[in-house]
Structure 1
Amino acid sequence: MKILAEQGWQGIEWRITDPVESFRPTFWAGNRATWPMTGLESRLGEIRSVTAGLAMPALGAYVTPKERDDAERMLAAAAALDAGQVRFLGVNTEKGQSYREAFAACRGDWEWLEERAREHGVRALLELHHESLTPSASAARRLVEGLDPRYVGVLYDIGNTVIEGWEEPAHALDLLGEYLAHIHVKNVAFHLSAVEIDGTLRWEPKWVPLREGRAHLPEFFKALAATGYDGWVTVEDFSGALPVAERTAANLEYLTGLARAAGYDLG
Protein backbone atom coordinates (compact mmCIF):
# COMPACT_ATOMS: atom_id res chain seq x y z
CA MET A 1 0.00 0.00 0.00
CA LYS A 2 2.85 2.38 0.82
CA ILE A 3 4.45 1.72 -2.57
CA LEU A 4 1.17 2.16 -4.45
CA ALA A 5 0.48 5.47 -2.70
CA GLU A 6 3.99 6.72 -3.45
CA GLN A 7 3.62 5.76 -7.11
CA GLY A 8 0.43 7.81 -7.38
CA TRP A 9 -2.34 5.23 -7.47
CA GLN A 10 -5.68 6.61 -6.30
CA GLY A 11 -7.40 3.48 -5.02
CA ILE A 12 -7.32 -0.25 -4.53
CA GLU A 13 -9.96 -2.91 -5.18
CA TRP A 14 -9.50 -5.53 -2.48
CA ARG A 15 -9.98 -9.21 -3.19
CA ILE A 16 -12.30 -10.85 -0.62
CA THR A 17 -12.21 -14.65 -0.37
CA ASP A 18 -10.90 -17.32 1.95
CA PRO A 19 -7.30 -17.88 0.89
CA VAL A 20 -6.13 -20.97 -0.93
CA GLU A 21 -2.73 -21.95 0.40
CA SER A 22 0.12 -22.31 -2.08
CA PHE A 23 3.81 -22.99 -1.63
CA ARG A 24 4.45 -20.54 -4.46
CA PRO A 25 2.03 -17.59 -4.41
CA THR A 26 0.04 -16.93 -7.57
CA PHE A 27 -2.77 -14.50 -8.35
CA TRP A 28 -5.39 -17.10 -7.36
CA ALA A 29 -3.64 -19.11 -4.65
CA GLY A 30 -1.51 -17.68 -1.87
CA ASN A 31 -2.43 -14.16 -3.02
CA ARG A 32 -1.33 -11.78 -0.27
CA ALA A 33 -3.59 -8.94 -1.42
CA THR A 34 -6.60 -10.88 -0.15
CA TRP A 35 -8.82 -10.40 2.88
CA PRO A 36 -10.53 -13.58 4.13
CA MET A 37 -14.28 -13.95 3.81
CA THR A 38 -14.37 -15.85 7.08
CA GLY A 39 -14.54 -13.30 9.86
CA LEU A 40 -14.68 -10.40 7.39
CA GLU A 41 -16.76 -8.23 9.71
CA SER A 42 -14.06 -8.36 12.40
CA ARG A 43 -11.42 -7.16 9.90
CA LEU A 44 -13.16 -4.03 8.61
CA GLY A 45 -11.22 -1.74 10.91
CA GLU A 46 -7.94 -3.29 9.78
CA ILE A 47 -8.94 -2.93 6.13
CA ARG A 48 -9.67 0.78 6.69
CA SER A 49 -6.35 1.26 8.45
CA VAL A 50 -4.29 -0.50 5.79
CA THR A 51 -6.08 1.33 2.98
CA ALA A 52 -5.66 4.76 4.58
CA GLY A 53 -4.84 7.38 1.97
CA LEU A 54 -6.36 5.49 -0.95
CA ALA A 55 -9.98 5.03 -2.00
CA MET A 56 -11.82 1.72 -2.34
CA PRO A 57 -13.79 1.93 -5.59
CA ALA A 58 -15.15 -1.61 -5.20
CA LEU A 59 -14.72 -4.90 -3.37
CA GLY A 60 -13.96 -8.02 -5.37
CA ALA A 61 -16.23 -10.69 -3.94
CA TYR A 62 -15.87 -14.35 -4.87
CA VAL A 63 -19.51 -15.19 -4.27
CA THR A 64 -22.55 -15.27 -6.56
CA PRO A 65 -25.95 -13.67 -5.91
CA LYS A 66 -27.46 -17.10 -5.22
CA GLU A 67 -25.15 -17.42 -2.19
CA ARG A 68 -27.45 -15.01 -0.43
CA ASP A 69 -26.00 -14.93 3.07
CA ASP A 70 -22.49 -14.16 1.83
CA ALA A 71 -23.81 -11.78 -0.84
CA GLU A 72 -25.58 -9.82 1.89
CA ARG A 73 -22.39 -9.75 3.96
CA MET A 74 -20.43 -8.33 1.03
CA LEU A 75 -22.98 -5.56 0.45
CA ALA A 76 -22.88 -4.67 4.13
CA ALA A 77 -19.07 -4.62 4.12
CA ALA A 78 -18.99 -2.33 1.09
CA ALA A 79 -21.38 0.06 2.80
CA ALA A 80 -19.33 0.05 6.00
CA LEU A 81 -16.09 0.68 4.09
CA ASP A 82 -17.57 3.34 1.78
CA ALA A 83 -16.49 1.16 -1.13
CA GLY A 84 -19.76 1.78 -2.96
CA GLN A 85 -19.66 -1.27 -5.24
CA VAL A 86 -19.25 -5.06 -5.03
CA ARG A 87 -18.12 -7.30 -7.88
CA PHE A 88 -20.05 -10.58 -7.88
CA LEU A 89 -19.07 -13.72 -9.76
CA GLY A 90 -20.95 -14.80 -12.83
CA VAL A 91 -22.50 -18.25 -13.04
CA ASN A 92 -22.73 -20.92 -15.72
CA THR A 93 -25.18 -23.71 -16.42
CA GLU A 94 -25.35 -26.58 -13.96
CA LYS A 95 -25.48 -30.24 -14.95
CA GLY A 96 -28.67 -31.00 -16.86
CA GLN A 97 -29.67 -27.32 -17.01
CA SER A 98 -30.25 -25.45 -20.26
CA TYR A 99 -28.86 -21.97 -20.87
CA ARG A 100 -32.33 -20.47 -20.78
CA GLU A 101 -33.15 -22.17 -17.49
CA ALA A 102 -29.88 -20.98 -15.94
CA PHE A 103 -30.39 -17.47 -17.28
CA ALA A 104 -33.91 -17.23 -15.82
CA ALA A 105 -32.67 -18.41 -12.41
CA CYS A 106 -29.77 -15.95 -12.55
CA ARG A 107 -32.14 -13.10 -13.36
CA GLY A 108 -34.17 -13.95 -10.27
CA ASP A 109 -31.02 -13.83 -8.14
CA TRP A 110 -30.12 -10.41 -9.54
CA GLU A 111 -33.61 -9.09 -8.85
CA TRP A 112 -33.10 -10.13 -5.23
CA LEU A 113 -29.61 -8.58 -5.24
CA GLU A 114 -30.95 -5.28 -6.60
CA GLU A 115 -33.33 -5.05 -3.65
CA ARG A 116 -30.57 -5.79 -1.13
CA ALA A 117 -28.12 -3.38 -2.78
CA ARG A 118 -30.75 -0.64 -2.56
CA GLU A 119 -31.19 -1.38 1.14
CA HIS A 120 -27.44 -1.01 1.75
CA GLY A 121 -27.01 1.98 -0.55
CA VAL A 122 -24.35 0.34 -2.73
CA ARG A 123 -24.18 -1.06 -6.26
CA ALA A 124 -23.83 -4.71 -7.24
CA LEU A 125 -21.61 -5.33 -10.26
CA LEU A 126 -22.02 -8.08 -12.84
CA GLU A 127 -18.59 -8.80 -14.33
CA LEU A 128 -18.19 -9.80 -17.96
CA HIS A 129 -16.38 -13.12 -17.64
CA HIS A 130 -15.55 -16.00 -19.93
CA GLU A 131 -17.18 -19.35 -19.18
CA SER A 132 -20.21 -17.66 -17.62
CA LEU A 133 -23.74 -16.88 -18.77
CA THR A 134 -22.68 -13.28 -19.45
CA PRO A 135 -19.30 -13.12 -21.21
CA SER A 136 -20.39 -10.23 -23.45
CA ALA A 137 -21.90 -6.80 -23.08
CA SER A 138 -24.99 -7.84 -25.00
CA ALA A 139 -25.61 -10.86 -22.73
CA ALA A 140 -25.04 -8.75 -19.60
CA ARG A 141 -27.40 -6.04 -20.83
CA ARG A 142 -30.08 -8.66 -21.42
CA LEU A 143 -29.67 -9.97 -17.87
CA VAL A 144 -29.84 -6.61 -16.09
CA GLU A 145 -32.33 -4.84 -18.38
CA GLY A 146 -35.01 -3.16 -16.29
CA LEU A 147 -33.09 -3.28 -13.03
CA ASP A 148 -32.20 0.04 -11.39
CA PRO A 149 -28.74 1.12 -12.64
CA ARG A 150 -28.19 3.01 -9.38
CA TYR A 151 -27.94 -0.36 -7.62
CA VAL A 152 -27.02 -2.81 -10.40
CA GLY A 153 -24.25 -2.21 -12.91
CA VAL A 154 -21.98 -4.04 -15.32
CA LEU A 155 -18.23 -4.36 -14.84
CA TYR A 156 -16.66 -4.33 -18.30
CA ASP A 157 -13.47 -6.42 -18.29
CA ILE A 158 -11.81 -6.04 -21.66
CA GLY A 159 -9.26 -8.81 -21.04
CA ASN A 160 -11.94 -11.36 -20.23
CA THR A 161 -13.82 -10.52 -23.43
CA VAL A 162 -10.73 -11.36 -25.49
CA ILE A 163 -11.12 -14.95 -24.28
CA GLU A 164 -14.90 -15.05 -24.78
CA GLY A 165 -17.54 -12.44 -25.46
CA TRP A 166 -15.57 -10.04 -27.66
CA GLU A 167 -17.64 -7.30 -29.25
CA GLU A 168 -16.30 -4.10 -30.74
CA PRO A 169 -15.49 -2.19 -27.50
CA ALA A 170 -17.02 1.10 -28.65
CA HIS A 171 -20.26 -0.69 -29.50
CA ALA A 172 -20.19 -2.74 -26.29
CA LEU A 173 -19.72 0.32 -24.09
CA ASP A 174 -22.49 2.17 -25.90
CA LEU A 175 -24.79 -0.83 -25.56
CA LEU A 176 -24.26 -0.99 -21.79
CA GLY A 177 -25.21 2.67 -21.47
CA GLU A 178 -26.39 3.55 -17.98
CA TYR A 179 -25.36 0.12 -16.71
CA LEU A 180 -21.65 0.71 -17.43
CA ALA A 181 -20.41 1.06 -13.87
CA HIS A 182 -16.79 -0.10 -13.59
CA ILE A 183 -13.80 -1.13 -15.72
CA HIS A 184 -11.14 -3.83 -15.38
CA VAL A 185 -8.09 -3.63 -17.63
CA LYS A 186 -5.81 -6.54 -18.45
CA ASN A 187 -4.72 -8.12 -21.71
CA VAL A 188 -4.67 -11.50 -23.40
CA ALA A 189 -3.05 -13.02 -26.47
CA PHE A 190 -3.63 -16.45 -28.01
CA HIS A 191 -0.60 -18.72 -28.29
CA LEU A 192 -0.08 -21.96 -30.15
CA SER A 193 -0.19 -24.65 -27.46
CA ALA A 194 -0.23 -27.88 -29.44
CA VAL A 195 -0.26 -29.44 -32.89
CA GLU A 196 -2.54 -32.47 -32.96
CA ILE A 197 -1.73 -35.67 -34.82
CA ASP A 198 -3.89 -34.67 -37.80
CA GLY A 199 -2.21 -31.26 -38.04
CA THR A 200 -4.95 -29.31 -36.26
CA LEU A 201 -3.53 -26.37 -34.33
CA ARG A 202 -4.68 -25.73 -30.77
CA TRP A 203 -4.57 -22.15 -29.48
CA GLU A 204 -4.84 -21.14 -25.83
CA PRO A 205 -5.24 -17.72 -24.18
CA LYS A 206 -2.36 -16.37 -22.13
CA TRP A 207 -2.21 -13.30 -19.88
CA VAL A 208 0.28 -10.81 -21.32
CA PRO A 209 1.48 -7.26 -20.46
CA LEU A 210 -1.01 -4.49 -21.19
CA ARG A 211 0.66 -3.37 -24.43
CA GLU A 212 0.94 -6.84 -25.96
CA GLY A 213 -2.51 -8.42 -26.16
CA ARG A 214 -5.51 -8.52 -28.49
CA ALA A 215 -7.16 -5.54 -26.79
CA HIS A 216 -5.82 -2.25 -28.18
CA LEU A 217 -5.94 -0.12 -25.05
CA PRO A 218 -5.31 3.29 -26.69
CA GLU A 219 -8.48 2.80 -28.75
CA PHE A 220 -10.30 1.46 -25.70
CA PHE A 221 -9.61 4.60 -23.65
CA LYS A 222 -10.81 6.75 -26.55
CA ALA A 223 -14.01 4.70 -26.65
CA LEU A 224 -14.44 5.13 -22.90
CA ALA A 225 -14.06 8.89 -23.21
CA ALA A 226 -16.54 8.99 -26.10
CA THR A 227 -19.18 7.33 -23.91
CA GLY A 228 -18.66 9.94 -21.19
CA TYR A 229 -17.46 7.32 -18.72
CA ASP A 230 -15.87 9.00 -15.68
CA GLY A 231 -15.67 6.11 -13.23
CA TRP A 232 -12.86 3.92 -12.01
CA VAL A 233 -10.45 1.77 -14.01
CA THR A 234 -8.94 -1.11 -12.04
CA VAL A 235 -5.77 -2.73 -13.35
CA GLU A 236 -5.43 -6.52 -13.28
CA ASP A 237 -2.09 -7.30 -14.92
CA PHE A 238 -1.76 -11.07 -14.58
CA SER A 239 1.28 -11.31 -16.86
CA GLY A 240 3.93 -11.39 -14.14
CA ALA A 241 6.39 -10.06 -16.72
CA LEU A 242 8.03 -7.66 -14.25
CA PRO A 243 8.46 -7.62 -10.46
CA VAL A 244 5.35 -6.22 -8.78
CA ALA A 245 6.61 -2.72 -7.94
CA GLU A 246 8.09 -2.23 -11.42
CA ARG A 247 4.91 -3.56 -13.03
CA THR A 248 2.58 -1.27 -11.08
CA ALA A 249 4.73 1.80 -11.80
CA ALA A 250 4.98 1.03 -15.51
CA ASN A 251 1.26 0.29 -15.80
CA LEU A 252 0.30 3.53 -14.06
CA GLU A 253 2.52 5.56 -16.36
CA TYR A 254 1.16 3.80 -19.45
CA LEU A 255 -2.51 4.03 -18.54
CA THR A 256 -2.46 7.63 -17.33
CA GLY A 257 -0.79 8.51 -20.64
CA LEU A 258 -3.57 6.76 -22.53
CA ALA A 259 -6.22 8.49 -20.45
CA ARG A 260 -4.74 11.92 -21.08
CA ALA A 261 -4.40 11.19 -24.81
CA ALA A 262 -8.08 10.21 -24.83
CA GLY A 263 -9.01 13.59 -23.34
CA TYR A 264 -9.36 12.83 -19.66
CA ASP A 265 -8.34 15.57 -17.24
CA LEU A 266 -6.42 13.77 -14.49
CA GLY A 267 -5.40 16.92 -12.67
Structure 2
Amino acid sequence: MKFSVFTASTPEWSPQEAATKLAAQGWDGIEWRVTDQAEAAEPGFWAGNRATWPMTGLEDAIPEIARLTADAGLEFSGLGGYARCDNHHDVDRVLAATAALGAKQVRVNVLPLGNSNMGGPEPTGLPYPELFAATREHYEWVASRAAHHGVKALVELHHGTVTASASSARRLLEGLDPQHVGVIHDLGNLLIEGWESPLPALQLLGPYLAHVHVKNARWVRTDSKDETGAAVWVNEWAPLAEGQASVLAYFRALAEVGYDSWVTLEDFSTELPLEERTASNLAFVRKAAALAGFDVAASAPAS
Protein backbone atom coordinates (compact mmCIF):
# COMPACT_ATOMS: atom_id res chain seq x y z
CA MET A 1 0.00 0.00 0.00
CA LYS A 2 1.22 3.48 -0.88
CA PHE A 3 0.13 6.86 0.47
CA SER A 4 -0.18 10.20 -1.30
CA VAL A 5 -1.68 13.64 -0.74
CA PHE A 6 -4.15 15.46 -3.00
CA THR A 7 -2.91 19.03 -3.26
CA ALA A 8 -6.39 20.49 -2.93
CA SER A 9 -5.63 19.99 0.78
CA THR A 10 -2.26 21.83 0.72
CA PRO A 11 -3.33 25.32 -0.41
CA GLU A 12 -0.58 27.25 1.39
CA TRP A 13 2.28 25.50 -0.39
CA SER A 14 3.62 26.18 -3.85
CA PRO A 15 4.09 23.10 -6.05
CA GLN A 16 7.78 23.07 -5.15
CA GLU A 17 7.01 23.28 -1.44
CA ALA A 18 4.32 20.61 -1.65
CA ALA A 19 6.58 18.13 -3.40
CA THR A 20 9.58 18.84 -1.18
CA LYS A 21 7.73 18.82 2.14
CA LEU A 22 5.65 15.72 1.41
CA ALA A 23 8.72 13.81 0.26
CA ALA A 24 10.61 14.86 3.39
CA GLN A 25 7.77 13.52 5.55
CA GLY A 26 7.96 10.14 3.81
CA TRP A 27 4.90 10.19 1.55
CA ASP A 28 5.11 7.89 -1.47
CA GLY A 29 3.30 10.07 -3.95
CA ILE A 30 1.34 13.16 -4.82
CA GLU A 31 -1.98 13.80 -6.58
CA TRP A 32 -1.79 17.21 -8.20
CA ARG A 33 -4.92 19.37 -8.36
CA VAL A 34 -5.52 20.53 -11.95
CA THR A 35 -8.13 23.22 -12.56
CA ASP A 36 -8.62 26.89 -13.33
CA GLN A 37 -9.61 28.51 -10.05
CA ALA A 38 -10.78 31.83 -8.69
CA GLU A 39 -8.25 34.16 -7.15
CA ALA A 40 -8.34 34.81 -3.41
CA ALA A 41 -6.67 37.22 -1.00
CA GLU A 42 -5.53 34.24 1.10
CA PRO A 43 -4.81 30.69 -0.07
CA GLY A 44 -7.84 28.43 0.29
CA PHE A 45 -8.73 24.88 -0.58
CA TRP A 46 -10.92 25.86 -3.55
CA ALA A 47 -9.72 29.36 -4.48
CA GLY A 48 -6.22 30.75 -4.44
CA ASN A 49 -4.78 27.27 -3.85
CA ARG A 50 -1.06 27.64 -4.53
CA ALA A 51 -0.52 23.90 -5.12
CA THR A 52 -2.88 23.84 -8.10
CA TRP A 53 -1.82 23.59 -11.74
CA PRO A 54 -4.09 25.66 -14.03
CA MET A 55 -6.03 23.83 -16.71
CA THR A 56 -5.25 26.78 -18.97
CA GLY A 57 -1.82 26.06 -20.41
CA LEU A 58 -1.66 22.59 -18.85
CA GLU A 59 0.24 21.15 -21.79
CA ASP A 60 3.04 23.70 -21.34
CA ALA A 61 3.27 22.84 -17.62
CA ILE A 62 3.73 19.09 -18.11
CA PRO A 63 7.56 19.17 -18.10
CA GLU A 64 7.60 21.19 -14.86
CA ILE A 65 5.02 18.92 -13.18
CA ALA A 66 7.11 15.91 -14.16
CA ARG A 67 10.36 17.51 -12.99
CA LEU A 68 9.08 18.60 -9.58
CA THR A 69 7.54 15.21 -8.91
CA ALA A 70 10.58 13.23 -10.01
CA ASP A 71 13.12 15.50 -8.28
CA ALA A 72 11.27 14.98 -4.99
CA GLY A 73 11.34 11.21 -5.47
CA LEU A 74 7.53 11.05 -5.50
CA GLU A 75 5.22 8.99 -7.69
CA PHE A 76 1.88 10.01 -9.16
CA SER A 77 -1.09 8.39 -7.48
CA GLY A 78 -3.07 9.97 -10.30
CA LEU A 79 -4.18 13.47 -11.24
CA GLY A 80 -6.93 15.36 -9.43
CA GLY A 81 -8.72 16.69 -12.48
CA TYR A 82 -11.91 18.77 -12.52
CA ALA A 83 -12.86 18.44 -16.19
CA ARG A 84 -16.50 17.38 -16.38
CA CYS A 85 -17.54 14.45 -18.54
CA ASP A 86 -19.70 16.66 -20.77
CA ASN A 87 -16.73 18.93 -21.57
CA HIS A 88 -15.15 16.58 -24.10
CA HIS A 89 -12.41 19.01 -25.12
CA ASP A 90 -10.99 19.40 -21.61
CA VAL A 91 -11.52 15.74 -20.74
CA ASP A 92 -9.40 14.71 -23.71
CA ARG A 93 -6.73 17.22 -22.73
CA VAL A 94 -6.49 15.94 -19.16
CA LEU A 95 -6.44 12.32 -20.34
CA ALA A 96 -3.59 13.18 -22.69
CA ALA A 97 -1.73 14.98 -19.89
CA THR A 98 -2.16 11.96 -17.62
CA ALA A 99 -0.62 9.76 -20.30
CA ALA A 100 2.24 12.17 -20.94
CA LEU A 101 3.09 12.26 -17.23
CA GLY A 102 2.77 8.53 -16.72
CA ALA A 103 0.23 9.26 -13.97
CA LYS A 104 -2.03 6.38 -15.18
CA GLN A 105 -5.36 7.66 -13.84
CA VAL A 106 -7.29 10.92 -13.50
CA ARG A 107 -10.60 12.00 -12.04
CA VAL A 108 -13.22 12.99 -14.62
CA ASN A 109 -16.19 14.61 -12.92
CA VAL A 110 -19.76 13.42 -13.41
CA LEU A 111 -22.82 15.67 -13.63
CA PRO A 112 -24.21 17.33 -10.50
CA LEU A 113 -27.69 16.61 -9.19
CA GLY A 114 -30.49 18.84 -10.40
CA ASN A 115 -30.88 20.38 -6.94
CA SER A 116 -27.14 20.85 -6.38
CA ASN A 117 -24.79 23.68 -7.30
CA MET A 118 -21.82 21.29 -7.19
CA GLY A 119 -19.48 22.31 -9.98
CA GLY A 120 -21.77 25.02 -11.31
CA PRO A 121 -23.30 28.39 -10.39
CA GLU A 122 -26.96 27.35 -10.17
CA PRO A 123 -28.86 24.05 -9.87
CA THR A 124 -30.24 22.90 -13.21
CA GLY A 125 -33.47 21.48 -11.80
CA LEU A 126 -33.16 18.49 -14.14
CA PRO A 127 -34.44 15.14 -12.84
CA TYR A 128 -32.01 12.46 -11.73
CA PRO A 129 -32.89 9.87 -14.42
CA GLU A 130 -32.15 12.41 -17.15
CA LEU A 131 -28.83 13.45 -15.58
CA PHE A 132 -27.79 9.85 -14.97
CA ALA A 133 -28.54 8.85 -18.55
CA ALA A 134 -26.58 11.83 -19.87
CA THR A 135 -23.62 11.03 -17.63
CA ARG A 136 -23.61 7.42 -18.84
CA GLU A 137 -23.61 8.56 -22.45
CA HIS A 138 -20.70 10.93 -21.80
CA TYR A 139 -18.78 8.31 -19.86
CA GLU A 140 -19.03 5.86 -22.74
CA TRP A 141 -17.14 8.47 -24.75
CA VAL A 142 -14.73 9.08 -21.84
CA ALA A 143 -13.98 5.35 -21.64
CA SER A 144 -13.15 5.24 -25.35
CA ARG A 145 -10.78 8.20 -25.05
CA ALA A 146 -9.15 6.82 -21.91
CA ALA A 147 -8.49 3.60 -23.82
CA HIS A 148 -7.04 5.64 -26.70
CA HIS A 149 -4.61 7.35 -24.32
CA GLY A 150 -3.85 4.18 -22.35
CA VAL A 151 -5.05 5.61 -19.01
CA LYS A 152 -8.00 5.25 -16.64
CA ALA A 153 -10.76 7.80 -15.99
CA LEU A 154 -12.04 7.86 -12.43
CA VAL A 155 -15.55 8.54 -11.12
CA GLU A 156 -15.46 9.92 -7.59
CA LEU A 157 -18.14 9.11 -5.03
CA HIS A 158 -19.16 12.67 -4.19
CA HIS A 159 -22.16 14.29 -2.55
CA GLY A 160 -24.26 16.48 -4.82
CA THR A 161 -23.54 14.37 -7.92
CA VAL A 162 -25.19 11.47 -9.71
CA THR A 163 -22.61 9.10 -8.15
CA ALA A 164 -22.83 9.81 -4.43
CA SER A 165 -22.79 6.07 -3.60
CA ALA A 166 -20.93 2.96 -4.65
CA SER A 167 -24.20 1.50 -5.94
CA SER A 168 -24.83 4.44 -8.28
CA ALA A 169 -21.23 4.44 -9.54
CA ARG A 170 -21.32 0.72 -10.29
CA ARG A 171 -24.59 1.15 -12.17
CA LEU A 172 -23.10 4.05 -14.14
CA LEU A 173 -20.02 2.11 -15.26
CA GLU A 174 -21.54 -1.35 -15.68
CA GLY A 175 -20.38 -2.88 -18.94
CA LEU A 176 -17.56 -0.39 -19.55
CA ASP A 177 -13.98 -1.66 -19.51
CA PRO A 178 -12.57 -1.53 -15.94
CA GLN A 179 -9.11 -1.21 -17.47
CA HIS A 180 -10.05 2.31 -18.52
CA VAL A 181 -12.74 3.48 -16.10
CA GLY A 182 -12.97 3.05 -12.35
CA VAL A 183 -14.21 4.48 -9.08
CA ILE A 184 -12.62 6.58 -6.34
CA HIS A 185 -14.14 5.37 -3.07
CA ASP A 186 -14.08 8.39 -0.72
CA LEU A 187 -14.71 7.73 2.97
CA GLY A 188 -15.32 11.34 3.97
CA ASN A 189 -17.66 12.26 1.14
CA LEU A 190 -19.85 9.26 1.91
CA LEU A 191 -20.53 10.55 5.41
CA ILE A 192 -22.28 13.51 3.81
CA GLU A 193 -24.25 11.59 1.19
CA GLY A 194 -24.26 8.07 -0.21
CA TRP A 195 -23.13 6.10 2.85
CA GLU A 196 -23.13 2.34 2.42
CA SER A 197 -21.31 0.01 4.79
CA PRO A 198 -17.75 0.01 3.42
CA LEU A 199 -17.17 -3.73 3.06
CA PRO A 200 -20.23 -4.58 0.95
CA ALA A 201 -19.81 -1.32 -0.99
CA LEU A 202 -16.22 -2.20 -1.87
CA GLN A 203 -17.30 -5.75 -2.76
CA LEU A 204 -20.02 -4.31 -5.00
CA LEU A 205 -17.53 -2.17 -6.91
CA GLY A 206 -15.43 -5.23 -7.68
CA PRO A 207 -13.11 -4.57 -10.63
CA TYR A 208 -14.21 -0.93 -10.77
CA LEU A 209 -12.59 -0.14 -7.39
CA ALA A 210 -9.59 1.77 -8.73
CA HIS A 211 -8.57 4.32 -6.12
CA VAL A 212 -9.23 5.44 -2.55
CA HIS A 213 -9.48 8.89 -0.98
CA VAL A 214 -9.41 9.22 2.80
CA LYS A 215 -10.65 12.11 4.87
CA ASN A 216 -13.14 12.34 7.73
CA ALA A 217 -16.24 14.36 8.55
CA ARG A 218 -18.89 14.79 11.23
CA TRP A 219 -22.41 16.12 11.61
CA VAL A 220 -22.88 18.96 14.09
CA ARG A 221 -26.14 20.09 15.63
CA THR A 222 -26.61 23.84 15.27
CA ASP A 223 -28.52 26.23 17.49
CA SER A 224 -31.07 26.70 14.70
CA LYS A 225 -34.40 24.97 14.19
CA ASP A 226 -36.50 24.60 11.06
CA GLU A 227 -40.09 25.81 10.67
CA THR A 228 -41.40 22.74 12.51
CA GLY A 229 -39.09 23.32 15.45
CA ALA A 230 -36.84 20.37 14.55
CA ALA A 231 -33.07 20.49 15.07
CA VAL A 232 -30.86 21.55 12.16
CA TRP A 233 -27.63 19.65 11.55
CA VAL A 234 -24.70 20.59 9.30
CA ASN A 235 -21.66 18.63 8.17
CA GLU A 236 -18.06 19.72 8.59
CA TRP A 237 -14.66 18.22 7.87
CA ALA A 238 -12.86 16.66 10.82
CA PRO A 239 -9.38 15.38 11.63
CA LEU A 240 -8.93 11.71 10.77
CA ALA A 241 -9.16 10.56 14.39
CA GLU A 242 -12.09 12.85 15.26
CA GLY A 243 -14.63 12.21 12.51
CA GLN A 244 -17.55 9.81 12.51
CA ALA A 245 -15.96 7.17 10.27
CA SER A 246 -13.54 4.60 11.64
CA VAL A 247 -10.44 4.77 9.47
CA LEU A 248 -9.23 1.51 11.02
CA ALA A 249 -12.45 -0.30 10.11
CA TYR A 250 -12.15 1.15 6.62
CA PHE A 251 -8.64 -0.24 6.15
CA ARG A 252 -9.82 -3.62 7.40
CA ALA A 253 -12.57 -3.56 4.75
CA LEU A 254 -9.99 -2.66 2.10
CA ALA A 255 -7.83 -5.57 3.26
CA GLU A 256 -10.76 -7.98 3.06
CA VAL A 257 -11.44 -7.13 -0.59
CA GLY A 258 -7.74 -7.30 -1.44
CA TYR A 259 -7.23 -3.62 -2.26
CA ASP A 260 -3.54 -2.81 -1.86
CA SER A 261 -2.97 0.19 -4.10
CA TRP A 262 -2.90 3.96 -3.56
CA VAL A 263 -4.59 5.69 -0.63
CA THR A 264 -4.72 9.46 -1.11
CA LEU A 265 -5.27 11.79 1.84
CA GLU A 266 -7.22 15.02 1.38
CA ASP A 267 -7.74 16.42 4.87
CA PHE A 268 -9.77 19.65 4.79
CA SER A 269 -9.89 20.08 8.57
CA THR A 270 -7.93 23.05 9.89
CA GLU A 271 -7.41 22.33 13.58
CA LEU A 272 -3.71 21.69 12.98
CA PRO A 273 -1.27 23.75 10.88
CA LEU A 274 -0.77 22.27 7.42
CA GLU A 275 2.70 20.77 7.87
CA GLU A 276 1.78 19.21 11.21
CA ARG A 277 -1.49 17.97 9.73
CA THR A 278 0.11 16.14 6.81
CA ALA A 279 2.81 14.58 8.99
CA SER A 280 0.38 13.36 11.64
CA ASN A 281 -1.98 12.03 8.96
CA LEU A 282 0.78 9.88 7.47
CA ALA A 283 1.60 8.41 10.87
CA PHE A 284 -2.10 7.78 11.54
CA VAL A 285 -2.88 5.98 8.27
CA ARG A 286 0.29 3.93 8.44
CA LYS A 287 -0.73 2.73 11.89
CA ALA A 288 -4.30 1.98 10.77
CA ALA A 289 -3.08 0.14 7.67
CA ALA A 290 -0.56 -1.90 9.66
CA LEU A 291 -3.24 -2.89 12.18
CA ALA A 292 -5.41 -3.97 9.23
CA GLY A 293 -2.60 -6.25 8.01
CA PHE A 294 -1.07 -4.20 5.22
CA ASP A 295 2.64 -3.97 4.51
CA VAL A 296 3.37 -0.30 5.16
CA ALA A 297 7.13 -0.11 5.32
CA ALA A 298 7.89 3.57 5.60
CA SER A 299 9.45 5.31 2.62
CA ALA A 300 12.81 6.87 3.32
CA PRO A 301 12.28 10.62 3.84
CA ALA A 302 14.04 12.84 1.34
CA SER A 303 17.37 14.21 2.52
Query: What's the TM-score once normalised by structure 2's chain length?
Result: 0.86
Deviation string, structure 1 residues 21-65 (Cα, Å, up to 9, x no partner): 111211111111100000000000111111121001111111111
2:284 maps to 1:236: no
The answer to whether the 8 Å contact 1:129/1:161 transfers is yes
Distance in 2, Cα, partners of 1:93 & 1:213: 26
Correspondence for 2:81 among 50, 61, 79: 61
Distance in 1, Cα, partners of 2:245 & 2:291: 17
Structure 1, unmatched stretches of 5+, are: none
Corresponding position of 1:7: 25
Corresponding position of 1:184: 213
Distance in 2, Cα, partners of 1:155 & 1:59: 12
The answer to whether the 8 Å contact 2:185/2:212 transfers is yes
Query: Could you tell me how far 1:100 is from its partner in structure 2?
Result: 1.1
Corresponding position of 2:284: 254
Structure 2, unmatched stretches of 5+, are: 1-18, 115-123, 298-303
Distance in 2, Cα, partners of 1:194 & 1:91: 33
Distance in 1, Cα, partners of 2:105 & 2:274: 26
Aligned residues between the structures: 267
Deviation string, structure 1 residues 92-137 (Cα, Å, up to 9, x no partner): 2453532111111110101000100000000000000001111000
Q: What is the DSSP-based 3-state SS (H/G/I as helix, E as strand, rest coil) of the residue aligned with 2:75?
A: coil
Query: Could you tell me how far 1:19 is from its partner in structure 2?
Result: 2.6
After the TM superposition, which of the residue ranges 162-171 and 88-97 deviates more from structure 2? 88-97
The 1:266–1:74 alpha-carbon spacing in structure 2 relative to 1, beyond 3 Å, is same
Query: Could you tell me how far 1:198 is from its partner in structure 2?
Result: 4.8
Q: 1:185-200 maps to which residues of 2 (within 5 A)?
A: 185-196=214-225, 198-200=228-230
The answer to whether the 8 Å contact 1:90/1:129 transfers is no
Distance in 2, Cα, partners of 1:48 & 1:6: 18
Query: Could you tell me how far 1:192 is from its partner in structure 2?
Result: 1.5
2:40 maps to 1:40: no
Correspondence for 1:106 among 125, 129, 135: 135
After the TM superposition, which of the residue ranges 18-27 and 102-111 deviates more from structure 2? 18-27
Corresponding position of 1:88: 108
Corresponding position of 1:156: 185
2:165 maps to 1:136: yes
Deviation string, structure 1 residues 203-228 (Cα, Å, up to 9, x no partner): 00000100111111000000001100
Q: Residue 10 of structure 1 aligns to which amino acid in structure 2?
A: D
The 1:219–1:93 alpha-carbon spacing in structure 2 relative to 1, beyond 3 Å, is closer
Corresponding position of 2:145: 116
After the TM superposition, which of the residue ranges 196-205 and 39-48 deviates more from structure 2? 196-205
Query: What's the TM-score once normalised by structure 1's chain length?
Result: 0.97
After the TM superposition, which of the residue ranges 211-220 and 87-96 deviates more from structure 2? 87-96
The answer to whether the 8 Å contact 1:130/1:163 transfers is yes
Corresponding position of 1:245: 275
Q: 1:191-230 maps to which residues of 2 (within 5 A)?
A: 191-196=220-225, 198-230=228-260
Q: Residue 58 of structure 1 aligns to which amino acid in structure 2?
A: G
What is the aligned-residue identity percentage? 53
The 1:265–1:205 alpha-carbon spacing in structure 2 relative to 1, beyond 3 Å, is same
Correspondence for 1:167 among 196, 205, 208: 196
